[in-house]
Chains A and B, each alone.
Chain A
Amino acid sequence: MHAIEVGSLTKVYPDGTKAVNDVSFSVEEGEIFGLLGPNGAGKTTTIKMITTLATPTAGTIRVFGADALRSPQEVRQMLGFVPQAISVDGDLTGYENLLIFAKLFFVDREQRKKRIQDALNYFGLAERANDLVKHYSGGMMRRLEIAQALVNRPKLLFLDEPSIGLDPYSRKQVIEQVKQLNQEFGTTIFITTHDMAEADELCDRLAIMNLGRIAISGAPRDLKKMVGGDVLSVTLSGRMPKDLPTELGSVVSSEGGVIKVLTPDGEKAIPRVTDYLERSGAVVESVSLSRPTLEDVFMKYAKAPLQTEGTYQEARSARRSIVRHGK
């Protein structure tokens, strides 16, 4: 059974803008799935529809087999949701924030106390549990939010831009904890982000969304392969070779003592290329390897259409969404 199965999902706002346009995808149980895309691509709208907070104009949504349109409460019972904006209540203590949510998720009285204590310990908040949340740091609030989404022991956790506004250290902590959750408890995680490094580090699979459509999806590694191979830059002295045997790769440029070689697998090519060059009389001084990043993938699939295919309407929809979700 799929954790999420979305078919031909469409959301048209009353003014006619298509925020989400005929989107279909599925998320497997136990994986970390990333939904990437520029601002206004329709990521948050998609999440809102899956979490039953917004009603789709058309399409189907199943969460662990349950129909999100017919039985929204059943679906909500299975999921945890951490929205984009910090949503813990600053006027309550950390403990109270967890308590209220445990109650709203109908967690049994006997289990409640233990789960709250577990969550506080797990996220390193136990010492500050009885302080008002408004005195917490941004990173602590974020961790409390995730803890809050977990008192329910959800099968599926939604994180909408979890690291937005966090310093690098807090960000790393949050990412580590998300990973751990996935590994220790097998929680399926659905994350949206526009931080490419974060997506690359976390996601088993991802989809890039742009202008309400899914531009491409797959495992990060496969996606990176699609934008081209690795580039080796070799700095040489002595005789510059004009060409390389094709099985080693193709020469992109060769000037000023630097030769650039495009090759499908850079790490394996390093010893072979240096070996070949030295045998042909050159002295290799340094080798550097640059690999395509998710950022390249993102630029290729998410940015290009904005300039080439995007209509005025679509661009407006993107802007509106920024305004709507901007803080």
Chain B
Amino acid sequence: MNDVQRSVTSAFTIAEMEARKIRHDSTELWMRAVQPALWLLIFGEVFNTVRGLAPGGLNYMQYITPGVLAQSVLFVAIFYGITIVWERDVGLLTKLLSTPSPRISVVVGKALAAGVRGIFQGVMIFALALIIGVNIRFDPLDVLGVFLVVVLFAMCFASLSMTLASFLKTRDRMMGIGQAITIPLFFGSNAIYPVSLMPPWLQAISTYNPLTYVVDAMRAMLLTGDYSGLPVDIAALLISTVFFILCASALLKRLIQ
């Protein structure tokens, strides 16, 4: 086996490890579905009465569904840094790093696991959208595309979170930074309102916000069917994912030193 094959096999092994844990105890996954459900059922329903909030003739429930999906995946992914700090604390990380598996595979494996959780979030939100009758284009290819974006996005932020963990090193600090990152990203994106409603300075920031691109891609596939922005969205996401995976792999060792 060459290095690339080894990295890929090991990454899937790490992801398998996480998947097996979820299989033994999936309580957390169900709990994680509560928050997006509340966003849709309460926030969505209330703001649905406001006319003209969503552009392009969409109703607000339609508009917010991709946003809520992206946000819930973000929340799942951003806490992977805490998981890895916890694994460091109990000695699991040391053990993983003492195997001949390449470091990058630990990061990619964890990131993939975040992706699996993200897919679960997606399934839950789609199910809820169906139940409450949100009008979404359930085209199989589009749904598949959304899941791909979900996985990439989860991988991107799980890696970012692991990168931060290698600097911050404690769970308490990671909890703090998790909150400090997710909320501005969420409100500084097009997840729950269009960018055009933002003040100019926030509009400028939202251009650099990966969440904006993710939500844009999801909206294109689930609602508008206008794929013109898709290449840029995917490229932006792909570049940041690779960047953060490389950062986290290079810095992971800091955690055990």
Contact = CB atoms under 8 A, between A and B. Distances in A.
A91 B90 contact: no
Contact of B6 (A54, A87, A106): A106
Given A76-B99, A106-B100, A100 B91 contact: no
Given A86-B90, A106-B6, A53 B98 contact: yes
A92 B256 contact: no
Interface stretch (B10-18, B36-44, B118-126): B10-18
A133 to B, nearest CB: 10
A91 B21 contact: yes
Q: Main SS of the interface on chain B? A: helix
Given A92-B17, A103-B10, A104-B13, A87 B1 contact: no
B9 interface: yes
A198 interface: no
Contacts of B25: 91
B102 interface: yes
B101 interface: yes
25 contacts: A48-B256, A53-B253, A53-B256, A54-B257, A76-B99, A79-B98, A81-B94, A83-B94, A86-B90, A87-B90, A87-B94, A87-B95, A89-B17, A91-B21, A91-B24, A92-B20, A92-B21, A100-B13, A100-B17, A103-B10, A104-B101, A105-B100, A106-B6, A106-B100, A148-B95
A101 B20 CA distance: 14
A83 B89 CA distance: 12
Contacts of A237: none
B96 interface: yes
Interface of A: 48, 51-55, 73-74, 76-77, 79, 81, 83-87, 89, 91-93, 96, 100-101, 103-106, 132, 148
Given A86-B90, A91-B25, A132-B24, A103 B98 contact: no
Instruction: Count chain A CB atoms within 10 A of each CB in B9, B10, B95 and give the residue with the most.
Output: B95
Given A51-B98, A87-B95, 16 more contacts: A52-B98, A73-B102, A76-B100, A81-B95, A83-B98, A85-B91, A85-B94, A86-B90, A96-B17, A96-B20, A104-B13, A104-B99, A104-B101, A105-B99, A106-B100, A148-B95
Interface residues of B, number: 27
B9 A76 contact: no
Nearest to B98: A81
A103 B20 CA distance: 14
A92 B257 contact: no
B153 to A, nearest CB: 25
B46 interface: no
Residue among B1, B17, B96 with most chain A CB within 10 A: B17
Most central of B16, B17, B90, B98 by chain A CB within 10 Å: B98
A73 B1 CA distance: 13
Nearest to A73: B100
A258 to B, nearest CB: 51
B91 A77 contact: no
Nearest to B97: A53
Contacts of A83: 91, 94-95, 98
